[in-house]
Structure 1
């Protein structure tokens, strides 16, 4: 059976997944990591910069008649809403039209929207392009997590996915320090500094686009969608390149898979697969995303106001404290990532979630007792987030590897949208009131909510986490196309 775009559909047997999984780590894999992983740095930069420049934007002379609460409230909510809509819209397109097309398109959307934000001349314009910036970033999550998991060998998939998702915090650290510089009126005028922070996002995005052009389409996506010859040629080329680099022939790939090729999967089939065929895995994804979204909102939403209100830290220096916390967040996935591949998914996912929740309960108790200073409070948060960050990154890894190939991008998009909406919409509503009240007991309640949801998610992982470490994606969840081939 042929299709209007020239591809022919049929039943094929291929060793492409096994060939990709048995590859040793190489320069080619570094190119993928740099080309695809760097966008998380942009997301971290975006979110942090806006939080830190809110006070400057609301000042007279900023060039925008906007209030502090409009920046941290409405503009932040629109960015989150854009991310949720973008994830679902582009996630569907990613499963339908391929990873490469979409990770180029979503980055282009981000670039244009950020450039337009820097040029904001009125409040509605600023709001509109915050939405479209989120729209592009949300789409990135689905296109990139699916591409990473399908291109990285199974032996390294856990740590690479965790470190890439954790690199968000490098961007957050950069954003915190950048905002301190950009808001210094001795260097930049009030109406220029904040625009330059957005313009820097555009420059970084253009650099990423140059690298990303060389990242190939996922061969796994190609052979399912009637482009098996292209997939075989692509893997042939990669194998030759790696054999030259290593100076030795690669071992023969063992396992073959037979699949019935198809062009697309409908929403109904995706929903049926997620909730009827894999209800425990869907529950796990839901629990992990909600838990991490609320923990992060409990801490990061009230972060600045807690330091200012309870510890008399000046608002101009909270960026330094945030940079320290962001560094702790990045160290978690970096140092613990390998254990997700060696000790295994279940003990590490459950362990990081439960431990970070218990540590946050402890921090809440110390804060409530009044024994912490700004420095020791920041140190406590760093320890909590060291474990929480590895756990939160593993949520993305989990939903991108435990569902069938044809539904992967949509599954990532769905759980990302749920977690982001819960954390980014209900989170601010619950936590901003609690942490801004100036009452110690209210902030303690905020911490305890986040901590409790993390512990619950960890307990769900004890029972439902999938031992996916060092396994081929096709062994973790049989592709729908392979099932069709078996039934044929």
Structure 2
């Protein structure tokens, strides 16, 4: 695909968006876009907790536990990776809004269909397309949020939004307990209603999302300056009404040579040649968090039942507790990523969580932990790890040029998801399920080591992007240093 020039302009649109005071308009953006991570957490946790019920006689579906934990899980991961890459490219080409509506619709349709599964192959198909929609959401949503949220607040908002995955996980863990209670729901109905919960929540998000505008940053890059200007004018008027503050006109301008499209070859050269250090950083952060989370959460139920005699029906309560620990990390630490700075906070959360997991591994190997104290250790580790993992998404969404943003998010998400969902289980399944304390300790140590290593990489290659505009962190590929003085101003 070739690039087509449509003119050069000077624009204040990025500065106008970044200087906005926080307002109810921003909260609507957060609710409309950010709450999708609740759906992802809900989805993953519900499936993990209903595995036993699906395989029971009388469940209404002919499937085994092994089929759910292997084929269905692998297809969900594959769908997420393919969806991220497919929709990520489309998001950069056709815009943020079109794609975050389409990807949510795909998720809703697939999840609703899952509730009507009666055969294994149909359940597999639904799981693939559910992942396909969720993977696309990561690229479309993170790019839109970062381009609409003021730069001085981008760190904390991005972390909190990505951290809400764990609110969905906690909700899914507790909801599955109720839906699997045969005193409340028959065997062939409860698990179906569990999937319907995600559909209802998704429909509510879809209604709010209709009012979220297209990214003005994406619009002016594509030559649609008048449309971008109208959107920002409307946002400014709305924010002034809601806050009662008169907005000053910013001085900062950026010069853009508008183009209808950016070729894929240009994107590849930009990411892997011009920004190869940032690419290595993104891969390190995603690999570290993927393996840490798999070392803890992949076999958490097996560990509790095998080593601490926790009843199978009670493991969901423990998972709900560690989900809360995950949620609190970004909520409590998020603002420090804007004030203290990205590099010390990202490196710190990665290294601290890795060291704490090493300590947990030692105590576990010594037999010094109970189910309660192990869960407390996990909560402490994941309090820091969750903030670090969320900052991985923040990093790759802000350190690459606007024209490549969604594709970069999708690439790193796909790599992290594939490693976490495929390589991770292959490595940790045998270790955690062996019943040998030393093997589970080794699983903890692998995750801890990779997390510490990623923190060290951040300390060397990290980008000081706090309180900066996206354009100053990575200039758009369409930016020109010395435009024609007669160029338009938006």
Question: Which whole-Å CA distance do the structure 1 matches of 2:182 and 2:226 have between them?
Answer: 59
Match of 2:330 among 330, 333, 339: 333
Match of 2:229 among 232, 237, 247: 232
**Pairs within 5 Å for 1:181-260:** 181-260=178-257
**Pairs within 5 Å for 1:408-427:** 408-427=405-424
Match of 1:465 among 435, 452, 462: 462
2:294 is the alignment partner of 1:297 = yes
Compute the displacement of 1:333 (Å). Answer: 0.3
Kept after mapping to 2: 8 A contact 1:224/1:262? yes
Compute the displacement of 1:69 (Å). Answer: 1.8
Kept after mapping to 2: 8 A contact 1:173/1:322? yes
Using the size of structure 1 for normalisation, the TM-score is 0.97
1:279 aligned partner: 276
Question: Which whole-Å CA distance do the structure 2 matches of 1:483 and 1:269 have between them?
Answer: 16
Write the deviation string for residues 316-370 of structure 1: whole angstroms up to 9, x where unpaired.
0100000000000000000000000000000000000000000000000000000
Kept after mapping to 2: 8 A contact 1:173/1:327? yes
Match of 2:109 among 112, 116, 122: 112
Match of 1:349 among 330, 340, 346: 346
Compute the displacement of 1:244 (Å). Answer: 1.7
Kept after mapping to 1: 8 A contact 2:112/2:199? yes
Write the deviation string for residues 292-338 of structure 1: whole angstroms up to 9, x where unpaired.
00000111111000000000000101000000000000000000000
2:6 aligned partner: 9
Match of 1:154 among 112, 132, 151: 151
Kept after mapping to 1: 8 A contact 2:401/2:475? yes
Question: Which whole-Å CA distance do the structure 1 matches of 2:120 and 2:287 have between them?
Answer: 31
Question: Which whole-Å CA distance do the structure 2 matches of 1:330 and 1:385 have between them?
Answer: 9
Kept after mapping to 2: 8 A contact 1:259/1:485? no
Counterpart of 2:91 in 1: which secondary structure?
helix
Compute the displacement of 1:248 (Å). Answer: 2.6
Write the deviation string for residues 268-292 of structure 1: whole angstroms up to 9, x where unpaired.
1111101100111000000000000
**Pairs within 5 Å for 1:35-114:** 35-114=32-111
Kept after mapping to 1: 8 A contact 2:5/2:259? no
2:477 is the alignment partner of 1:480 = yes
Counterpart of 1:480 in 2: which secondary structure?
coil
Match of 2:319 among 318, 322, 325: 322
Write the deviation string for residues 65-115 of structure 1: whole angstroms up to 9, x where unpaired.
211121122111111110000000000000000000000000000000001
Compute the displacement of 1:9 (Å). Answer: 2.1
Question: Which whole-Å CA distance do the structure 2 matches of 1:423 and 1:266 have between them?
Answer: 30
Kept after mapping to 1: 8 A contact 2:62/2:118? no
Counterpart of 2:479 in 1: which secondary structure?
helix
Question: Which whole-Å CA distance do the structure 2 matches of 1:350 and 1:468 have between them?
Answer: 14
Runs of 4+ deviating beyond 2 Å: 483-488
